Structure 1
Amino acid sequence: MTESFADIIERARPLIASAPVSDALDQHGFHRQILPPNIRPVDDGTVLFGPVRTGSYRPIWENIENIYDLEIALVDDLKAGEVCVLACGGNLSIGPWGELLSTRARYLNAAGFLTDGAARDVAAIRAMGFPVFTGALSPADTQGRGMMAAKDIPIRIGETDIAPGDIIVGDVDGVVVVPRAAALEVLSTALGKITGERRMRADIEAGMSLAEAFRKHGLL
């Protein structure tokens, strides 16, 4: 029986890591899928994994009425397992995320949040265990600094294009984006690499030399 997209997402969830997925992306010819290294988890122990919902921000310099409406609409519409990704053009003055949005997203069983802008309320977010990845930490609100211009559209962070439905994988090593159309193949390859690495590690722990283990498994 052919494995479905939902099947492989669930099979990958307890095992997934950014490094083997990055290797799998390279193997399948996707070489610009790593997000900028300044985007870090608020809590190093959290993992980001799931299909993305997107929003884009633009800078502003004045107070705007109803500035939060589009952002609220996106967060309230998050489905279980989805990751909210907000592109701020790398503008660290724009801080679109904090405790209250995390609380709502967690209630909806969303899988996490990422921005190349800033986030705040770090202590509260860590306490609730919700995966948040951000380009910076800042106490600043978005009012007078930035507002969401569109949602559920293709966005770009660093050198990586991100479309709604693409799969994002993030951990303490970094963040990668898997194009939706290639997700089955890439994640299957990544899971095979994870299984192979575990077997190789067991051989090394049992005393096998690195050279011999590499000849046997072909992994590094």
Structure 2
Amino acid sequence: MTPELKETLSKVSTASVASALLKLGLRNIWIRGAMPIAGGGAHSVGEAFTMRFLPMREDLVGPALAKLPNTRAAIEAMEAGSFVVVDAMGVTDAGVAGDVLCARMTLRGGVGLVTDGAIRDIVGVETSGLPVWSRGTASPAPGNSLTFIDWGLPVACGGVTVFPGDVIVADRDGAVVIPQTIAEQVAAEAAEIERFDAWVVEKVAAGEPLPGLYPPNADNQARYKRETAAGA
């Protein structure tokens, strides 16, 4: 992600990003159920670093579990600027990460974590400074319900397909996924949506009625372009 792209996306809401994606025909881009749980919904932007869990199986414990990939190794493979996306299959009766893992993600340069599952150790997670979006919290460790299986591969999170390197934008409305190949186009469109919405809010504050203004008819569209071009 270029610094310019990140700067643009850091100034637009997930609502504007979702609207920009809709204009391009992409509807299934909002990670369902993942809401701010730590960090106050701070606006975060980063490239997806994917992690995936499978259902727990009783034979995958002890020595057998030690032979599988683990979350600690995954975090050490994460690059600075990554937005961790954890596929927990919607399971919320065990936390996919806690205070220790989130603290390490922060030190590794992670900008956020989003999961369709739960997290644990919420007080410690808040202290870590890592913004987190999840479906809630849970006391049990992941091994009670989940088995970590891999990272760096496509995942399904909250009903959305996420590829490594896709752009994640998250705020108080949740987290949206931008396909990497159209991130520049989406950012430009979202910025224009923000400019137009700000113009409309000014007109509404001045007492103008909404019909013909939002969405704009031809006259108001022309007025918007004229006034913004003139710096009004």
TM interval, shorter chain, is 0.7 to 0.9
Scaled by the length of structure 2, the TM-score of the pair is 0.83
The alpha-carbon distance between structure 1 residues 78 and 217, as it changes in their structure 2 partners (threshold 3 A), is farther
CA RMSD in angstroms comes to: 2.3
Q: Which position in structure 2 is the counterpart of 1:35?
A: 31
Alpha-carbon shift at residue 212 of structure 1 (Å): 5.4
Q: Which position in structure 1 is the counterpart of 2:141?
A: 141
Question: Is residue 84 from structure 1 mapped to residue 79 from structure 2 by the alignment?
Answer: no
Q: Which position in structure 2 is the counterpart of 1:19?
A: 15
Alpha-carbon shift at residue 178 of structure 1 (Å): 0.8
Equivalent residues in 2 for 1:95-134, closer than 5 Å: 95-134=95-134
Question: Is residue 51 from structure 1 mapped to residue 47 from structure 2 by the alignment?
Answer: yes
Contact 2:36–2:171 at 8 Å: present in 1 too?
A: yes
Contact 1:87–1:156 at 8 Å: present in 2 too?
A: yes
Amino acid at match of 1:181: T
- The runs of 5 or more residues in structure 1 that have no matched partner are none
Greater CA drift, 175-184 or 195-204:
195-204
CA distance in 2, matches of 1:134, 1:158: 10
SS at match of 2:74: helix
Alpha-carbon shift at residue 171 of structure 1 (Å): 1.9
Question: Is residue 152 from structure 1 mapped to residue 152 from structure 2 by the alignment?
Answer: yes
SS at match of 2:136: strand
Amino acid at match of 1:52: A
Q: C-alpha deviations, 1:11-36, integer Å up to 9, x for none?
A: 321x1311111101100111111221
Alpha-carbon shift at residue 200 of structure 1 (Å): 1.9
Alpha-carbon shift at residue 85 of structure 1 (Å): 0.8
Alpha-carbon shift at residue 68 of structure 1 (Å): 8.3
Amino acid at match of 2:4: D
Contact 2:167–2:183 at 8 Å: present in 1 too?
A: yes
% identical aligned pairs: 23
Scaled by the length of structure 1, the TM-score of the pair is 0.87
Q: Give the greater-gyration-radius structure (CA).
A: 2
CA distance in 2, matches of 1:202, 1:87: 41
Equivalent residues in 2 for 1:159-174, closer than 5 Å: 159-174=159-174
Alpha-carbon shift at residue 121 of structure 1 (Å): 1.7
SS at match of 1:9: helix
Equivalent residues in 2 for 1:174-185, closer than 5 Å: 174-185=174-185
Greater CA drift, 206-215 or 74-83:
206-215
Amino acid at match of 1:56: R
Contact 1:200–1:217 at 8 Å: present in 2 too?
A: no
The alpha-carbon distance between structure 1 residues 67 and 168, as it changes in their structure 2 partners (threshold 3 A), is farther
- The runs of 5 or more residues in structure 2 that have no matched partner are 225-232
Contact 1:64–1:144 at 8 Å: present in 2 too?
A: no
Q: C-alpha deviations, 1:166-191, integer Å up to 9, x for none?
A: 11122222221111111111111111
Q: C-alpha deviations, 1:104-160, integer Å up to 9, x for none?
A: 111222110011111012223234432111122101111242221111001112431
Q: Which position in structure 1 is the counterpart of 2:227?
A: none
Q: Which position in structure 2 is the counterpart of 1:64?
A: 62
Contact 1:5–1:184 at 8 Å: present in 2 too?
A: no
Q: Which position in structure 1 is the counterpart of 2:230?
A: none
Greater CA drift, 184-193 or 206-215:
206-215
